[in-house]
Each structure stands twice: as structure tokens, then as C-alpha cells.
A and B are shown apart, each in its own frame.
Chain A
């Protein structure tokens, strides 16, 4: 059974940093692109970033470029999102998602999400 479990969310002050983790199990992690998607309270979904199987390609939504870094550890089946210079508008539930094997094929499994709150 595919499982994605996020952790690391919490309350952080504006300008602060936070590192999210996603533990993957039930599939060969190293063979899939992985994504982070967020959802602000009461709002819609926003794709944040994704990373290629070997970590050699990474893409970000414009609003987080230069502030967020996506990475992975295939040996430990883990996905990460390092967030710096956090702003109030980064407040959201952050989901880890497995991208389908087909290029640009969407995400077929999602974690339960972890809440990040940026507030003083």
C-alpha cells in the first residue's frame, strides 16, 4: 500500500524557516517524480514544486523561487521541502504527492498534509 506521511509543520514567525519531510512507503520511491502542493485555509490547491527521480531537475512556482528548496533522499525514501524567508501568505496545508509515471501525468497518491502557519 502506497503511503505518504508528512511532518515538520508548525507555527513560525515571518522571516523564519521550516523544513518539511515526507516519508514514503509501499512503492519504489526512486522511480517517481515527487511534488509538494499546498492549500491555504479556505482556498484552492497550488502546486509548489517537484523533483525528478534522481534529484537532477527541480521546478518551482514563481512565488517560492529562491526561498524554498525541494530535495529527496532515495536511500531513505524521503522527500523534503526547506522553506526560508517565510511569509504570511505561505500559511497553508502542505501535501506531499507522488507524480504518475507518465510525464505531466498528475499526482496519483497524496499524503494527509501538514499545516504551516506563519504568524507573529
Chain B
């Protein structure tokens, strides 16, 4: 059972907007630790998509955005494209575990 919770899957038609939530607790997100999002395409290594809750690394399309409210954060993908089909993971630091924790991952399907 993951410390962070995410929906197992989300789906949308091309061009639509989808959001993925990531909920934590007072020892991680609620304690103020940043959340980071990773995209993992099938058969490849994870790629940093969003860092520090809402920042995009160079090269990441602005279709991807992150936000935070309390102990929950969200990743939004606007203008959904077929190439966005992947697994998405949130990550934060947990002070009670003294280490990083990942959410269970969300599979995004483009209909």
C-alpha cells in the first residue's frame, strides 16, 4: 500500500484535458515537501515531467502542468495526444520514513 495515492487509470479522447490526483499526508505533501511527476512510456525509463509541484524541465511541453492544494497535488494534461499514453507517477519525500515515496502510478489511455 503506497503512502501516496493516485487513481489507477484515467482516459480521454485526443485533444481533451485529463487530470491525475496525488494525495498524501502530514508527513509528506502536507509537511510542505515538493511533489514531482514522472512519465514512463512503455519499456522505457521514467522521465521527470514536473518538479517542485508545478515546474517543467526544459523540453517538456506546456500541455503538462502541475498544481498543489493542501495535501493534494494534481497533474493536468491538456490537448491530450496519442504519445501521452504512459504511466505517470508522483513522488515526494516522507519525513517519517526518511526517504522518497512514489505513488502507485496512473495509466493514461488515449481513446
Contacts and interface: CB of A to CB of B under 8 A. Distances in A.
Interface residues of B, number: 27
Q: Is the interface of B mostly helix, strand, loop or mixed?
A: strand
Contact of A106 (B34, B40, B97, B105): B34
Interface in A79-120: 95, 100, 102, 104-113
Contacts of A104: 33-34, 92-93, 100
Nearest to B32: A104
B61 interface: no
A37 B89 CA distance: 13
B36 A44 contact: no
Given A45-B89, A95-B46, A113-B45, A108 B51 contact: yes
B91 interface: yes
Nearest to B105: A44
Nearest to A100: B51
B65 to A, nearest CB: 16
Q: Using C-beta atoms within 8 Å of the partner chain, give the interface range for chain A.
A: 20 to 34
Q: Is the interface of A mostly helix, strand, loop or mixed?
A: strand
A108 B57 contact: yes
B63 interface: no
Nearest to A95: B45
B48 interface: yes
Interface string B45-80: 111100110000100000000000000000000000
B98 A106 contact: no
A105 B46 contact: no
Contacts of B52: 102, 105-106
A27 interface: no
B104 interface: yes
